[in-house]
Chain A
Amino acid sequence: MTALHDETTAPEAPESGPAEATRTIFGRLTPEQLETFGEEMDAIRQRVLAELGEDDAAYIRNVVKAQRAFEIAGRALFYLPPAWPLAVASLSVSKILDNMEIGHNVMHGQYDWMGDPGLSSRMYEWDNVCPSEQWKYSHNYIHHTYTNILGKDRDIGYGVLRMDEDQPWHPYYLGNPLYAFLLMVFFEWGVAMHDLEVENLVAGKRKLEDNKALHAGIMRKVKRQAVKDYLLFPALTGPLFPLTFAGNATANLVRNVWAFNIIFCGHFPAGVATFSQEECEDESRGQWYFRQLLGSANITGGKLFHLMTGNLSHQIEHHLFPDLPARRYPQVAEEVREICERYDLPYNTGPLGKQLFSVARKICRFALPDRKRDEATETPAPAEAAAA
C-alpha cells in the first residue's frame, strides 16, 4: 500500500487479488477506526453542504445553457450537409451533457436545494428512453444503497454479464464480451430495461404482470425519442431526412458508447471490491462509506474530461457523497485521498485507457470458467495494468 497516490500503479498490492479483497475487506479497519473514518466523511459532506450557493447555481445553469446551445447548433447544422459530422458531434455533446452532468446529477437531488423546478430531482426528465422515475429507483436507491453487494446491486453485470467470480459460471457467459458490446451499443435501452429484471423473468422469479406499469413509462419515453429524433427533426430538414435521421441515430449511439465506457470504469476495474450480503448486514454509516470507497474507481483526466463524464470520473467521491453537486468532487477528492492515505486504504484511480483495459480484461476473463485459485489471484498484474 505504498503507492496509493501513484496513479499509474494498480491500487491493490500484488499479493491480494479481487478475491482476497472481497473477503478481508472489513478487516482493514477496527470498528473505532471505521467510526472516525465515517465521521471524517460526514464532516466533508457537512462542510460542502454549508458552502453551497451562488457559484454552484451559476455553474449548473451555465452547463444547461451550453447543453441547449450545442443541441440547437447540432439541429441547425443538419441543414448544411457538408457540416454533417459537426452536427453529429454537437448533438452528441448535447446528449452527453444532458444525460451525465445535468440529468444524472440533477436526478440525484444534487441541486434540489436551489428550489428550481427545472433542476429538481422530482421534476427532471432526461433525453433518454429510460423514464426518470424508474432510473431514480434502480440507480439512486438500489445501486447507491447496495453498491457492489452481490445479489442486491443489479448494476453488477446489469443482469446480463458476469462481472464477479462469485457469480457462478454458466456456458451462457461465454458470450460475455459480445453481451458487453451489445450493451454498450444499446446502452440507453439496457438502462431502460434494467428495471424490468428480464433475467428474473427468465428465471421465473418475476411475473410479466409485475412489469405492466413500467412498460407504459418506458413506451412513453421511447415514443417521445422516436417522434423527436427519428420523425420530426428529420422531417423538418425536408429532402435531407435520411441524413438527419442517421445523424440523430449516431448522436444517440455516441452517447450510449461514451456513457457505457465511463460507467463501467466506475465499478469494474480490477481491484474494486464486491461484498456479500452477510458482510453488509447491520452496516454502520462508517462501514457504508467504507464500502462505497472500496466499491468504486476513478478516472484521471482534465477539466473538460471530468465535465463530459458528468464528474463520474470521480466515481469514488460520487458514491461517498451522491447528493453533493458533482462539480465539488474534484475539490473533495483531495481530502478523500488524504484520508485514505492516513488509514492506509486503497484509492482506485487511473487514466481512461488503463481503467478501460482493466474492465475489458475482466469481461473476457469472467466469460470463462474460473481457473485455479493461484492463477486467478495472479491478476491483476500491476506491471501489465501500468503498461496499458
Chain B
Amino acid sequence: MGLATSVLRSRTLAALTSPHGVDRYLELVNPMWAAHEVRARVVDVRREVDVPGHPPVATITLQPTSTWQGHRAGQHVQVGVEIDGARRTTRVFSISSPDSRPGDRFQITLRANPEGLVSRYLVERARPGTMVHLSQAQGEFVLPDAVPERILLISGGSGITPVMSMLRSLQRRTHRGHVTFLHYAQSPEHQIFADELDEVRRSGHGIDVRLLHPELGDPALSPAYLERHVPGYRDVPTWACGPAPLIEAVQGAYADSPALRLEYFKPPRVAGSDAAEGDVVFSRSGATGANTGATLLDQAEALGLTPESGCRMGICFSCVSRKSEGTVRNVLTGEESSLPDEDVRICVSAPVGDCTVDL
C-alpha cells in the first residue's frame, strides 16, 4: 500500500470527510481515484464472435482503480453500469483473463443476452473510456496456489469463461502437469476462444483439449466417457462450470467425491402470468412457504418473521429489502420486475412465481 493510499484510508481523513467518506469527494475530481470503492475504465472492447442473427460475444478489458485487489483464476466480479446515465444496474460476470495482481488490468468475456440490460450495454454500447462500478473479485471456484499434477476442467456453453482464465493462468504459471479440458457446446460454430483453444491443443503443453457437441453426435458426459479419458477421474481434482443440466450430470458422475468443485450458472426462471404460484424463500431466516399472492411483507409475517416495516403503503421505505431472485409485482402500479439482487419495498411487492428475499 503506497503512501497516498495510506493517507486516503486514514482515520483522520475519514473523520474529516464524515459522514460521506473520502470516496464521495474523490470521485468528483477523478472517477479513477478511490480509497475504498472499486471502479474501472473500459480500455478495450473486442468482439470475439459476431455472427448476424446471434447475440454477439465480446471481451472487455478493464483498467480498475488502485483499490482492485486482484483476482484468482475462476473468480467472478460484479459489474455495475449506469444505463442512460441514471439507473445503475449490476450483474455478475466471470473473469476470463489469467490471475491479476492488485490494480492490474483484467478482462471479462460475455455474450449480449437479448434480455440482459448490462451485458447488452457492455457488448454493444461500452466504449474505451466508459466507467463501470465493480465489486472485488468473488467466488471460491478457484485454482489452488499449488496446482496438482493431474487436473480435469469441464465447462459448458458460456461456462467456458472462468475455465479459460484457469487455462491461461496454468500456461502463464508454466504448469507442467497433465490437464484435461472438456468443453460442451451446441455446435462448433461461434465457439468463443476457438483459435486460442486450437493453439493450446497443438502446442503440446500437456493440455488435452476436447470440444464436444453431443447434439451433433459426440458422446455426452457420462461416467464411462470420463473413465476412458481420465482414468480414476473421481479422485482427480476437477473444476466444472456450466448450465444446470451439465452440472447435474457431473454431480451424478462424481457422486460425493471431494475432488469436484462446481460453479453453477442458473438458467433464468420464467415467471408465469398467474400470481399465486411457486414458493417464497426468506433466505436469511430460512423460512419458506407457498406463494399466496399476498405482499412479501404479509407473507413474511404469515411465516412468523418480523421484518422491519412502517407505513405498509409504499411511502416510508422502512421495509426495503433485497430480493435476490424471482419476479415481484408492485401492487400499486402493477409493474413487474425480475432483476436479481434488487431492493424492493416488500409492503407493496407481491411475488410472481418463485421468489427469494434476503430476510
List A residues at the B interface (Cβ < 8 Å): 42, 46, 49, 52-54, 56-58, 64-65, 68, 72, 108-109, 112-116, 118, 120-122, 125-127, 136-137, 140-141, 144-145, 221, 224-225, 227-228, 232-233, 285, 288, 322-323
Contact = CB atoms under 8 A, between A and B. Distances in A.
Contacts of A233: 16
B317 A144 contact: no
A116 B333 contact: no
Interface string B87-126: 1111000000000000000000000000000000000000
The A interface is mostly helix, strand or loop, or mixed, namely helix
Closest 4 CB pairs of A and B: A141-B310, A115-B88, A109-B317, A57-B86
B86 A125 contact: no
Interface stretch (B20-28, B188-196, B252-260): B20-28
Most buried by B among A64, A115, A137: A115
B317 A68 contact: no
Interface string B311-336: 10111111010000000000011000
Most buried by A among B12, B19, B82, B85: B19
B interface, size bucket: 20 to 34
A52 B89 CA distance: 16
A68 B16 contact: no
B318 A54 contact: no
Contacts of B318: 136-137, 140-141
Contacts of B314: 323
Interface in B252-276: none
B16 A228 contact: yes
B341 to A, nearest CB: 10
Most buried by A among B24, B25, B28: B28
A322 B315 contact: yes
Contacts of A144: 311, 315-316
24 contacts: A56-B86, A68-B28, A112-B317, A113-B87, A114-B88, A115-B89, A120-B343, A121-B317, A122-B317, A122-B320, A127-B19, A136-B316, A140-B311, A140-B318, A141-B311, A144-B311, A144-B315, A224-B15, A224-B19, A228-B18, A285-B313, A322-B315, A323-B314, A323-B315
Contacts of A72: 25
Given A115-B80, A122-B320, A145-B310, A57 B85 contact: yes
Interface in B2-34: 12, 15-16, 18-20, 24-25, 28
B218 interface: no
Contacts of B24: 64, 68, 118
Contacts of B25: 68, 72
Contact of A54 (B84, B311, B343): B84
Interface string B135-160: 00000000000000000000000000
Contacts of A141: 310-311, 316, 318
Nearest to B90: A115
Given A49-B333, A136-B318, A141-B316, A65 B28 contact: yes
Contacts of A121: 317, 320
Contacts of A53: 84, 86
A58 B62 CA distance: 25
Contacts of A54: 84-86
Given A54-B84, A145-B311, 20 more contacts: A42-B332, A52-B86, A53-B84, A57-B82, A57-B86, A58-B85, A68-B28, A109-B317, A114-B88, A115-B87, A121-B320, A122-B320, A140-B310, A140-B317, A144-B311, A144-B315, A145-B313, A232-B15, A322-B315, A323-B315
